[in-house]
Amino acid sequence: MSGLEVDLVLPNGKPIQLSIGLFINNEFVRGSSVEKLTSIDPANEESIASVEIATETDVDRAVDAARAAFNNPAWRDLTPEDRAQLLHRAADLCEKHLDELFALQAWDVGKPYQSSKAGEGAHFLGCLRYFAGWADKLTGKSFPVSKDKFGYSIRQPVGVCGAITPWNYPLTQSAWKLGPALATGNVIILKPSEHSPLAALYLAKLFKEAGYPPGVVQVLNGYGNRTGEAIASHLGVDKIAFTGSTATGKRVLRSAAVNMKRVSIEAGGKTAFIVFDDADLEQAAKWAKEGGFGNSGQICNANSRVLVQEGVQDKFINLFSDIAQATTVGLPFDDATTQGPQASKMQYDKVLGYIHSANQQGAKLVTGGKPYTCDAANGRGYFIEPTIYTNVTPDMTIFREEVFGPVIAVSTFKTEDEAVALANDSTYGLAAVVFSENLKKAHRVAARLQTGTVWINESNGTDYKLPFGGVKQSGLGRELGESALDGYTEEQIIHVNLGVQL
């Protein structure tokens, strides 16, 4: 025992021992800082546990261990089949301990435990196994040049990867980065958000148990502007995969330029949800609720702008309002809960600030608009009512900025061209939604939308087999699907001379 273990009883009643150190070279160790990072339960504002913080010195240690692991035959010379087997073994262990992983996540950030374990759990495990399946399918190409020469390509791992993950989907986003990085033969340093430090530490223990060599998978907790910055700017890191806000993504991009490391960024969004007058309005309202209020609105591609065609706006808003008011806001470990608290005091205050702005700027409040008093939490916690505004114009703050909370702005449009123009009137380009029973029109509109993803007659249906990412200021590159492998490999071209003499 390292003295870095704490005994906890999860809110679902399950006892757990959690290592709270930095996970470097397959060991939990103390950081070089005397400062600790404390996880706060957003449902009752009480402390859960404090973990070690990684300084620049600790990042140096982790990068050195990662580089040694990358060059070590114990990892470097594994066959693709061996890499696949390791990743499958890690997924199996995660499945065995899914309760602990998702209970820690729910405790840390306020997600409804049962629904997130069921939905995200399947995606999390499926993502790891999907990329395990790619490990032995990384083929190159051959290029006939002449009778005396040919060339061929091979896919080489990039090297030491830094992964900076957000607090809204800690486990899912870890899988999005661990899966393709490890399947392609890289080593990875995972830096969870300072608002969600716990689940990644338990995940590190499972990857060690799966048999990953020292230095291949490491976890460093800390603040983004310190630990994250140290990883992004480190000369020994070859690639950064970042998910978070657009503002932070820009800082990561600047830091990564120091050695022109490879960068993939999935940043903010302001998804437009277009409802045409021929849509199934009941289904549209249900999906608007799912995609806008799911995860307490803390989704990068949340459909926070709903654009409704004139003539059906009153019927749609009545349906949507009824569904929103039926939301069960409550404690994350209450099975009836469909919306938990905001993940932190910072996010809670930010969302309330957007509500105040909407009121000041003349938007019409339909439902919600204030903090929610959760009796089960004795009035504590960062709860906010599901909130809908209408009469929202494009110059209003809630139309333009990413709220990242349960606040939806409803606007109207007359024509297809106007709907497209409103949807594209954004610095973001992550996702969009089109609802229409006329699939010819829906496909036509989808092709005109300036986003990385478009959903037709659904919302937020992310699948690990399909690429995901944004355009404009929503990011660079793609995660998931076969496309994700491009961000973790370099194409090396080899020229072969068959007989040309000089």
For every residue of 346-414, which 3-state class applies, written as one string? HHHHHHHHHHHHHHHCCCEEEECCCECCCHHHCCCCCCECCEEEECCCCCCHHHHCCCCCCEEEEEEEC
| Cα 491 to Cα 154: distance, rounded to the nearest angstrom | 6
- Closest Cα partner for 106 from 90, 96, 91, 118? 118
| Contact (Cβ atoms closer than 8 angstroms) between residue 488 and residue 239 | yes
Give 380's Cβ-side CA count (13 Å radius). Answer: 10
| Cα 256 to Cα 489: distance, rounded to the nearest angstrom | 17
Residue type, 238: D
300 is a catalytic site residue: yes
Among residues 266, 385, 402, 479, which one is catalytic? 266
DSSP states of 35-100: -EEEEEETTTTEEEEEEE---HHHHHHHHHHHHHHHHSHHHHT--HHHHHHHHHHHHHHHHHTHHH
| Contact (Cβ atoms closer than 8 angstroms) between residue 164 and residue 243 | yes
Both structure tokens of 135:
């490990």
Question: Looking up tokens 């338990």, which residue turns up?
Answer: 202
Residues 6+ apart with CB under 8 A from 350: 403, 404, 405
SS3 of residue 122 by DSSP: helix
- Closest Cα partner for 389 from 428, 363, 350? 363
The DSSP secondary-structure symbol of 418 reads H
CA distances from 410 to 56, 231, 284, 396 (A): 46, 40, 13, 11
Both structure tokens of 93:
């262990």
| Contact (Cβ atoms closer than 8 angstroms) between residue 422 and residue 275 | no
SS3 of residue 144 by DSSP: strand
Strand-strand pairing, 22-24 and 27-29: antiparallel
The DSSP secondary-structure symbol of 135 reads T
Residue type, 416: E
Among residues 300, 385, 402, 479, which one is catalytic? 300
| Contact (Cβ atoms closer than 8 angstroms) between residue 387 and residue 339 | no
Residues 6+ apart with CB under 8 A from 277: 309, 310, 311, 312
The residues that are catalytic are 266, 300
